[in-house]
Amino acid sequence: MGDGGGRTIPSINPSDVSDVVALVPEGTPDDARAAVDAAAEALPAWRALSGPARAEYLHVWAAAIAQRADDLARAMTREVGKPITESRGEVGRAVVILRYYAGEAVREAGQVIPSQVPGALQFTLREPLGVVALITPWNFPLAIPLWKAAPALAFGNTVVLKPSEMSSHVAALLAETAAAALPRGVFNVVYGTGQAVGTPLLRQAAVRGISFTGSSAVGALVAAIAAERNVRYQTEMGGKNVVIVDRDADLDAAAALTAAGAMRYAGQKCTATSRVVVVREVERDFLARLQAQVERLPLGPVDDPAAAVGPLISAHSRDAITHAVRDGNAEHLFGGQLPNDSRFTHGYFFAPLVIRFPDADTPLAQRELFGPVLGTLVADDVDHAIALANRTPYGLSASLFTRDIRGALRYIHRIEAGLVRVNGDTTGVDPHAPFGGMKGSSSGSREQGPAAREFYTETKTVQINP
């Protein structure tokens, strides 16, 4: 980590606030400049490598991560409060992401297009953007940096990552694995706050692409800078994700998957379920099952391997959610009460809570809370439920539980979400499938899978005449 001008910010274990995981340099514009200079210097040699040679490096990086899987998972659990089984899953996914993009680096890099000129050869080439800046949140501290960095590197870009100051320790471990695997300067990390180092990073002239994941408020600032500089960008932001429960749904499955999607990792996934719209006839039966499922999820400090719901990331987040719920004019249904146990006095815990929204337009049903709070609404039928589901500024993830194929087809076409499930959890995603949201959840591009090639490359159209 750079010296950040000497000032530091503590990164705290959210299960036990007496445990300071790292002292993070606040970061300065000079740190951002130095990292971009290093990336720019490494660019010519890296982009000149063949795809198969870059693929080989990504495989070595994947192996370096796999070798330190246990350290990485434990660090993640300690620093961001992710239950250990999920942290282990994220490390495994990091390895898969790198291997997938190692494969992509050796696939076709353009098309041959017939020309009007007889005998000419016309084709497209995909070329790297140059130096790309990646700004990432704390909640997937390995997977999100890698699902941006792996395609960026596979296609010949060099990278400067600005991770969240709340997950700097995991980012530093990631940087160590990169240093062991990649040529110098290809993957750089700058630490510190968004204002001190993130914004200056985006303003560096050599930065030709920006990929951001985080809140909608910060995403709007990032997009404004990118537009002003005419630099390619993508902003992947928040959600108010929804489950719809139809009258003929498998209510046991719907309740189990809604509880898991809403509450695991204390609801701190961008795809976490925060609204459930239930068709009136089954509301009572569904809510009874939901309550049983929510109460079964083990809540606890994440050094307990059984914990499925850990702490919130910060006191700020806990207080903001507490105030939003208190002022939100919603009916309390169940939950929200922490056990009277000393295990919960050292961290930022918030017990899973289920409320009934007064209506779909109330601020509590519109705003992302990013915690284990689920609000319910009732609908007359699936079409009414889809209309209620669409009444938010967001459009990231949705799921419908049903056995009616015709209703499911209408929902697939009408729901305003980038990730559309039937009979599944709103969370989780295959690393090789496009990922991203509609409306206020995204700038409209997609990450992962083949979509990443579109973002991290530029197209040249070449014509060679006889």
- Indicate which residues carry an active-site annotation: 236, 270
> What's CA 298's distance to the chain center, in Å?
24
Residue with smaller CB distance to ligand NAD, 148 or 289: 148
Between β-strands 121-128 and 20-25, what pairing exists: parallel, antiparallel or unpaired?
Answer: unpaired
Report the distance separating Cα 333 and Cα 116, nearest Å.
68
- Sign of dihedral through CA atoms 154, 157, 158, 160? negative
Report, in Å, the least distance between residue 195 CB and ligand NAD: 5
Report the interface residues with ligand NAD, using CB under 6 A.
135-140, 162-165, 193-195, 198-199, 213-215, 218, 221-222, 236-239, 270, 368, 370, 396, 437, 441
Report, in Å, the least distance between residue 23 CB and ligand NAD: 16
Residue with smaller CB distance to ligand NAD, 210 or 378: 210
Side-chain-side CA neighbours of 232 within 13 Å: the count stands at 16
Between β-strands 232-236 and 158-162, what pairing exists: parallel, antiparallel or unpaired?
Answer: unpaired
Residues 6+ apart with CB under 8 A from 393: 240, 366, 439, 440
Residue with smaller CB distance to ligand NAD, 258 or 271: 271
Report, in Å, the least distance between residue 186 CB and ligand NAD: 21
Report, in Å, the least distance between residue 22 CB and ligand NAD: 15
Torsion-angle region of 72 (φ positive above 0: left; ψ -120 to 50: alpha; else: beta): alpha
Report the distance separating Cα 294 and Cα 286, nearest Å.
12
Report, in Å, the least distance between residue 418 CB and ligand NAD: 9
By Cβ distance, which residue is nearest to ligand NAD?
194
Residues 6+ apart with CB under 8 A from 112: 121, 122, 123
For residue 327, CA distances in Å to 316, 323, 369 come to 16, 6, 13
Residue with smaller CB distance to ligand NAD, 17 or 221: 221
Q: Which of 174, 228, 236 is nearest to 199 (CA)?
A: 228
Residues in the chain: 466
Report, in Å, the least distance between residue 394 CB and ligand NAD: 9
Record the tokens describing residue 229, joined without a space.
Answer: 């500089």
Residue with smaller CB distance to ligand NAD, 185 or 219: 219
Residues 6+ apart with CB under 8 A from 202: 133, 135, 210, 222, 225, 226, 229
Q: Which of 167, 170, 176 is nearest to 72 (CA)?
A: 170
